Each structure stands twice: as C-alpha cells, then as structure tokens.
C-alpha cells in the first residue's frame, strides 16, 4: 500500500476510497493534526485514493515522513485516528500480516481464519491486545498491529499461531510466557539503571 521513490523525500501511499473521509477527518482536522505532528505536507487524491507525503521544510527529519506514512497506512488498514496516532510515537511500529499469503484468496478460507482471530464477541483479538499492549485491526485480507516493536512482534506470532490452527488456549499460554519474559527483562534493566552507585 505504500512506496518510497529513490532519492526523493516524497512518499506515496494508497488508501481505500471508503477510508479517505477517516483520514481527512471532520473539516480536515485529522489531516491537519497529522501534518502538524510530523511537520509534513499531506496531499490526498479522493478520486483514486493516492496520498503524497512530503516534508514541509528541508530540515524535517526523514523519520517524520515515514511515521506519517505509517499513520496513513494504519487508517487504510482500518484503525481509528485515535489508535492510528499511536504509531507516531518514537518506539511504536506498524506490523502487517497478509492473510492471503497463509490461506490463499478463497473467501471461505479467509472468513474462517478471520473468525478464529476475532474470536467469539471479539474475545481472541481483545485478549491478544490486552496481553501485549497493542492495537489490532482485522480486515478482510490483512491483520494490522500497532505497538512497540517487541510487543507487536509477539502479537504477530500469536496471530500466526492461530492462522496455523493452534488452539486459543495454547496461544494464550505462549503470550503469558512471552510477556512474563519481557517484563522480567524490563524490570532487570530498570534495576540496573537505578541501582545505587557503589565504590
């Protein structure tokens, strides 16, 4: 959905036409907020869904342009603007899983996998989101995840386990172990950082 032109500080992305209104926002407020936060100029073609992102000035960090692109793609993949803005955070990333690459493009296969990923009344998706502190959007052919790199990677692994047919209970156990390990490591790093200096 997005591409970078070599040697040019201009990025193109594609947004489904039914998501253009979400990206622009009421009276253009979402687009304005995105440009303000990333110091970019965003041009949206509402006829074909093409979005052009470029810096507002020569001193804009190229990372800002990439972050703005990630926001646009997050909207394209179904996130609300409130959730999509999280991807602008320094340590936040957007991870996308293409369901077709696992189960092909037959609608009945895709529908079955989506049902597994969402769970009854959205339970599976909600548990993965809560355990990994991520946001997850499930569309017809993609699953998109927003979170810090490590937690988003764990959420992705959990999604892939469900796609491969593993039981929900097994996936939740995997998440418990993985998150316990992350929290243990973070606590250790925090302890090292604040350990009183000893001669």
At 57 the three-state DSSP class reads coil
Average pLDDT for 160-177:
96
Fold (CATH) for 92-193: Ribosomal Protein S8; Chain: A, domain 1 (3.30.1370)
What totals of helices (H) and strands (E) does the chain contain, helices first? 9, 7
Q: Which residues belong to CATH 3.30.1370.10 in the chain?
A: 2-88, 92-193
Residue 196: pLDDT band by 50, 70, 90 thresholds? low
One of 1.10.510.10, 3.30.470.20, 3.30.1370.10, 3.40.50.1820 is the CATH number of 2-88, namely 3.30.1370.10
Give 64-103 pLDDT, tens digit per residue.
999 999 999 999 999 999 999 999 999 999 999 999 999 8
Average pLDDT for 175-183:
95
Is the pLDDT score of 40 beyond 50? yes
In the sheet that holds 2-4, the strands lie side by side as 2-4, 11-14, 50-55, 40-44
Distance CA 192, CA 181 (A): 17
Is the pLDDT score of 191 beyond 90? no
| pLDDT of res. 124 | 96
Is the pLDDT score of 19 beyond 60? yes
């Amino acid at each position: 959905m997005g591409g970078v032109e070599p040697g040019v500080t201009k990025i193109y992305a594609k947004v489904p036409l039914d998501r253009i209104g979400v990206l622009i926002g009421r009276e253009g407020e979402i687009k304005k907020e995105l440009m303000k936060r990333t110091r970019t100029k965003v041009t949206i073609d509402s006829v074909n869904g093409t979005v052009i992102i470029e810096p507002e000035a020569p001193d804009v960090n190229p990372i800002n342009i990439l972050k703005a692109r990630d926001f646009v793609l997050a909207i394209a993949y179904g996130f609300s603007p409130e959730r999509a803005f999280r991807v602008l955070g320094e340590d936040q990333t957007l991870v996308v899983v293409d369901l077709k690459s696992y189960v092909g493009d037959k609608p009945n296969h895709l529908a079955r996998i989506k049902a597994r990923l969402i769970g009854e009344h959205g339970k599976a998706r909600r548990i993965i989101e809560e355990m990994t502190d991520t946001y997850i959007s499930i569309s017809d052919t993609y699953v998109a995840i927003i979170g810090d790199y490590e937690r988003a990677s764990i959420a992705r692994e959990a999604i892939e386990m469900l796609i491969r047919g593993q039981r929900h209970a097994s996936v939740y156990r995997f998440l418990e172990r993985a998150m316990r390990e992350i929290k243990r490591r973070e606590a250790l790093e925090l302890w090292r950082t604040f350990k009183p200096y000893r001669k």
